[in-house]
Structure 1
Amino acid sequence: MPKAKCNHSSLCFSSSSHATVTGFRRPSERQRVAATKSDNRVFPRSDKLFLNESVQAFPAPLLLPDDDLAGEEEDPQSFQEWVDAEHRNPITPKKKTIYVVPSPQVDPGLDFVREWTQPTSTGNDCQINPPSTKDVQEYLAAFYHGLPVKMMPSSTLRIMPWDEARKKAKKPAQEQYLGLSIGDECVRIRARTLPEGVYGGQINLTDLLDAAISLLPKDAYALIMLVDYDLYEEKDDEFVCGRAYGGSRVAVVSSARYNPTLDHIQRIERLHAWPASHCETYMSACTSAEPAAKNQKRSRGVNKGSQKSTLELDGPVKDAVSAYQSLREVDSAPSLIYALWLGRMCRTASHELGHCFGIAHCVYYACSMQGTASICEDARQPPYMCPVDLAKVLSATSSSASERYRALLKFCERPENLDTHFFGPFAAWIRSRLHQVEDSADFS
C-alpha cells in the first residue's frame, strides 16, 4: 500500500483487477438499467432522472482482495425482485415508524461493565464520547426521508446484575451473564471479559437482537438499537459491528470498533477511506502483489475503456474527492474525530435498516448496501445508495429523490459537520449529483 501522502490525482471508476482474479461478474450496463425498473411501480419523471446510471456518480464496486464480493458470490436483487419478495414487510399507515434505541444504561455496582465502553489502550490521549443517538436518529430521518424516525427514552434499557454472575469474571474470555431490564421484564444476556482485548468485555449480539424484537412498538416498521459496547456472536468471534434480522424488522449496531482512535490498531487505511478509495494508485497498490488471472473471463459490463484512469470524468465522485483532499488531518481536532465516528455509525445504521426494508446486499455498484467483510472495507464503502437501491427506498418511503437528497444535504451542511471527513465529501457528492440531474434539459 502507498505510504506517502497521496494526492488521489487519478481516479478509477471500474472494479480493481482483483475482480477478474476472483471471477466476479458484475451485471452488465443493460442489466443495471433494467434493475431500476418495475412493472408494479412507475416513478415521476423527475425521480426517473435520479435513477439513471452515471459512472461519475456511481462507480463499480472496488472489489479489493479480502473484500466481501471477493468471497462467495452474491445474487443481484433488482427493484422488481424486491417488489415481488414474499417475505418483505410492507409499510402501512399503522406501521411506518422507525425507532432508534440508545445504548443501555448501567446499574450501580457494575462499574466494570461501564468501563467496557472505553478501549483498554489507543495510543491516543484524546477522549471522545461515542456518537450521540440523537445525531444518528436525525441522519436516519433524512436518509429514510418520508417516514417518521423517533428516539426511545434513554431509560428504555438498563444493564443490571444477574443472580448467577454478580462479580467480574477473572479468566480470559470467560462467558458470564448480565441482566437486561426492558420495562418490567429482565432478560438474561451473555457477556464475556477480555482482559487482553481492545475492550475489557463484550456483549452478545444475538441476545441484544432478541431483546430488540420484544421492544417493537405497535406502530413500528423497524427498530435499531445503538450500543456503545463491543459485540460478539459466536465464541470464536473477535468482534462484530452489528447485524439486522430483516424479517423481524430489528437491527443492532455497535459504535465500539468505529472509534477513529483505534484506526492504527485496526490498520484502517484512513488516507484512502471513501471517497478516496477510488484512487487508482491505491487500488493498484492493493492488487500489485497478486498473480495474473488465468482462464478467467472479463466481468460483464467492464470493458477496456472503463479500466483506465478517468481524470476527465468530472462529477459527484471527483467533487467528493476534492472536498476530502481539502480537509485537515482527522486527529487535529476532537470535533473531526467525533464527526468521523458519527459518520461511520450513520452509514452502518442506514445499511442495517436497509435490510429491515428487505434490501439485499448490492452487487451493482459501490453502494451503501454493499456487504463488508472487515472493518477496513467498511471505511471504503460510500454513504449513498445506488440507483437500484434508491428505487427501493423511494418506493418504500414515498419520498422524492430530490427531497431526500436535500434532507441529507441539510444534515451534512450543519456547521459541525460540513468540514469533516465523512459529511463534507458526502455534501459535495450530493450537491454535484443534484446539479448533474437538475441542470439537465430533461429535468422539470
Structure 2
Amino acid sequence: MASCAHEHLALEPSSQAQHAGYKRATAQRRLAAAQPSGQAPKTSGLSPAASTFPAPLVLPNDELSWDPDYDTQSLKSWLQLSERNKVTAGRRTIYVVPVPSVAAKVRYVQDWASPKLPSPRDSKKAPEVARPQPLDVRDYLAAFYHNLPVKLLSKPKLQFTSWGDESGARSSKKRSKQAYIALSIGSEAVRIRTRPSKDGFFAGQLNLDDLLDAAISLLPSDAYAVLLLVDHDLYEGEDDDFCCGRAYGGSRVAVISSARYNPALDVTQEVETEHAWPASHCQKYVDACLQEASQDAAPPRKKPKATVKSSLPQAASSALHAAVRAFSSISASLQPHSTLWLSRFCKTASHELGHCFGMDHCVYYACTMQGTAGLSEDVRQPPYLCPVDLAKVLRATEADVKERYEALLSFCERFEEKDRMFAAFAAWLRARIVEVGA
C-alpha cells in the first residue's frame, strides 16, 4: 500500500473471523485464562485494555483463518502440562548457539545462505546486508526471559562440512543437488539432508529435523534450553516450501533460520513492510486485505468494518497508539536493513523458545506466541506476550513484570532511533510500564 497515516486502529478480529468460524473467548474467559485457578477474579475493571492488548486480526489466509478451532492454552492448563520442563536450580540457563561455520572444502554451502533474485533477467545475488549477530540475539532473549541466564554456547565448535565423497560434486550444478552435508560437532558428525529451494530463492536448503536432532546432542547439563541459529534456508517435509524455525519443546531445543527474514526478499515474497506491526492494526489496511480477498473469491461486497476501532488522537496515551506513532516517525526508506533483519529474527527466537517453556500457540490476543501461516502474517504480529502467556513466563522465570519490561526497553533503546519495530516496541513498553506501575 501507499504511504498511510494509520489514523484508525482495529482492536477486534476482522470480519474474516466470523466467516472462518473463529470465536474469540469472552473477556471473562480471557481473564480466567491468566489465573492459576482458571477462575476470573471477582474484582471488576481488571480486563486488559484493547488498545494495549488487541485481538488477533484473523485476516484472510492467517493461521486462525485456516484453523479457527485451535485449542486454547490457559495458565491453568499450562501449569498442569505433564510434558512441560520446569525451570530448576540445576537447569535454568538458555544457550544460544552461533551460526555454524563452513569448511573450505564445501565453501559452496556458504553461497546457499545468500538469496538469488528471481527475475530471469537478473539472477545475481541480492546485496549483502549485515546479518543478525548472535550477541544481539542473546541480549534480546536475556531481556525477554528476564531473570534467567542467557549465554552463547561456543564449544564445541560447529561446522558444516562434507558427508561422504565430494569428488563427484565439482560443478556448481552438481553441488546444488548434493543430497547430504555434515554438521561437525567436535569429534562427531551429523548428517544433514539438503535440497534446492522449490521457489528458486536459495540454491540449497537444510533439513530442519536433522538440525533439531543435532541440537539435542549439544545440550549442556545445566541447560534449560538450547537455540541453534542458522543462516541457511530450512525445510521440514518434502512438501514444504520453507520453514523459519521449529522447537522440540520437550527436548529443550529450537532451531531458527534468518534466511527468509532478509529484507532483500521482501518485494519478491510480497511482505508488506508499511503495515508491519504495529501498523498491521491500521483499519485502512485491514479493510484493504479483506477487499482484496473478496475480489479474489467473489464479487465485491460492502466494505467490512471491524467491531472496534480507535483513532490516534482519541487514545494518545495507549500503548498501541504510542507504538504506531513511534513506528510512523521513522521512514521505511531510512531504516537500515540490518536492524530490520535483527528485529524479525529476535521475535522468532523468543517465539520458538516459548515452545521450550511449554507454551502453545496463542489464540486469545495478538501475541508473539500466535501461530503464523506465512511471512506476511509473521511481520504483522507483535513482539510482546499477551496477558495469558506473560503469566506463564513470569511463573517460569520468577521475574518481576516491571523489571522484565524495563530490561526489554533497555534493549530496544539501543536501536529505536533507526529501527521501526524496536522504536514501536520501546514506545509500547514505556506505556505498559506506566500501566503496571499505576
TM-score, structure 1 normalization: 0.89
Distance 1:255 1:366, change over 3 A: same
Contact 2:108 2:175 in 1 (8 A): no
Distance 1:175 1:91, change over 3 A: same
- Give the letter for the 1:35 counterpart: A
Q: 1:331-370, aligned counterparts within 5 Å?
A: 331-332=333-334, 336-370=336-370
Alpha-carbon distance between aligned partners in 2 of 1:289 and 1:305, rounded to the nearest angstrom: 14
Provide the aligned length of Structure 1 versus Structure 2. 416
Please report how far the alpha carbon of residue 31 of structure 1 lies from its aligned counterpart in structure 2 after TM superposition: 0.2
Q: Which residue of 2 aligns with 1:55?
A: 50
- Give the letter for the 2:420 counterpart: H
Query: What SS does the aligned partner of 1:170 have?
Result: helix
Structure 1: where are the runs of 5+ without partners?
A: 293-303
1:220 aligns with 2:218: no
TM-score, structure 2 normalization: 0.90
Distance 1:179 1:172, change over 3 A: closer
Query: What SS does the aligned partner of 2:10 have?
Result: coil
Alpha-carbon distance between aligned partners in 2 of 1:305 and 1:5, rounded to the nearest angstrom: 21
Contact 1:58 1:386 in 2 (8 A): yes
Please report how far the alpha carbon of residue 236 of structure 1 lies from its aligned counterpart in structure 2 after TM superposition: 2.3
Q: Which residue of 2 aligns with 1:29?
A: 27
Q: Which residue of 2 aligns with 1:390?
A: 390
1:97 aligns with 2:93: yes
Contact 1:244 1:252 in 2 (8 A): yes
Determine which of 45, 63, 66 is the counterpart of 1:68: 63
The more displaced of 307-316 and 227-236 is 307-316
Q: 1:225-240, aligned counterparts within 5 Å?
A: 225-240=228-243
Please report how far the alpha carbon of residue 313 of structure 1 lies from its aligned counterpart in structure 2 after TM superposition: 3.2
Determine which of 67, 80, 83 is the counterpart of 2:79: 83
Please report how far the alpha carbon of residue 402 of structure 1 lies from its aligned counterpart in structure 2 after TM superposition: 0.2
Contact 1:172 1:193 in 2 (8 A): no
Alpha-carbon distance between aligned partners in 1 of 2:50 and 2:334, rounded to the nearest angstrom: 34
Partner deviation per Cα, 1:382-422 (whole Å, 9 max, x = no partner): 000000000000000000100000000000001x4443111
- Give the letter for the 1:18 counterpart: Q
Contact 1:222 1:356 in 2 (8 A): yes
The more displaced of 190-199 and 260-269 is 190-199
Q: Which residue of 2 aligns with 1:301?
A: none
1:113 aligns with 2:114: no
Query: What SS does the aligned partner of 1:181 have?
Result: strand
Contact 1:241 1:257 in 2 (8 A): yes
Alpha-carbon distance between aligned partners in 2 of 1:8 and 1:435, rounded to the nearest angstrom: 24
The more displaced of 120-129 and 221-230 is 120-129
Q: 1:316-335, aligned counterparts within 5 Å?
A: 316-329=319-332, 331-332=333-334
- Give the letter for the 1:379 counterpart: V
The more displaced of 155-164 and 60-69 is 155-164
- Give the letter for the 1:254 counterpart: S
Please report how far the alpha carbon of residue 291 of structure 1 lies from its aligned counterpart in structure 2 after TM superposition: 5.8
Q: Which residue of 2 aligns with 1:38?
A: 36
Greater relative contact order (Cα 8 A, min sep 6): structure 1 or 2? 1
Determine which of 200, 204, 208 is the counterpart of 2:203: 200
Q: Which residue of 1 aligns with 2:301?
A: none
Alpha-carbon distance between aligned partners in 1 of 2:380 and 2:290, rounded to the nearest angstrom: 15
Please report how far the alpha carbon of residue 308 of structure 1 lies from its aligned counterpart in structure 2 after TM superposition: 3.5
Query: What SS does the aligned partner of 2:112 have?
Result: helix
Please report how far the alpha carbon of residue 113 of structure 1 lies from its aligned counterpart in structure 2 after TM superposition: 0.3
Contact 2:156 2:185 in 1 (8 A): no
- Give the letter for the 1:413 counterpart: E
Distance 1:107 1:363, change over 3 A: same
Alpha-carbon distance between aligned partners in 1 of 2:176 and 2:72, rounded to the nearest angstrom: 39
Partner deviation per Cα, 1:161-214 (whole Å, 9 max, x = no partner): 111445267369745111111111112111123597111111111100000011
Q: Which residue of 1 aligns with 2:137?
A: 136
- Give the letter for the 1:93 counterpart: A
Contact 1:418 1:427 in 2 (8 A): no
Q: 1:256-267, aligned counterparts within 5 Å?
A: 256-267=259-270
Please report how far the alpha carbon of residue 366 of structure 1 lies from its aligned counterpart in structure 2 after TM superposition: 0.2
Contact 1:170 1:193 in 2 (8 A): no
Alpha-carbon distance between aligned partners in 1 of 2:165 and 2:354, rounded to the nearest angstrom: 38
Determine which of 223, 242, 247 is the counterpart of 2:245: 242
Query: What SS does the aligned partner of 1:407 have?
Result: helix
- Give the letter for the 2:436 counterpart: V
Contact 2:216 2:251 in 1 (8 A): yes
Alpha-carbon distance between aligned partners in 2 of 1:345 and 1:115, rounded to the nearest angstrom: 20
- Give the letter for the 2:343 counterpart: G
Alpha-carbon distance between aligned partners in 1 of 2:365 and 2:309, rounded to the nearest angstrom: 18
The more displaced of 139-148 and 179-188 is 179-188
Structure 2: where are the runs of 5+ without partners?
A: 296-303
Query: What SS does the aligned partner of 1:199 have?
Result: coil
- Give the letter for the 2:210 counterpart: D
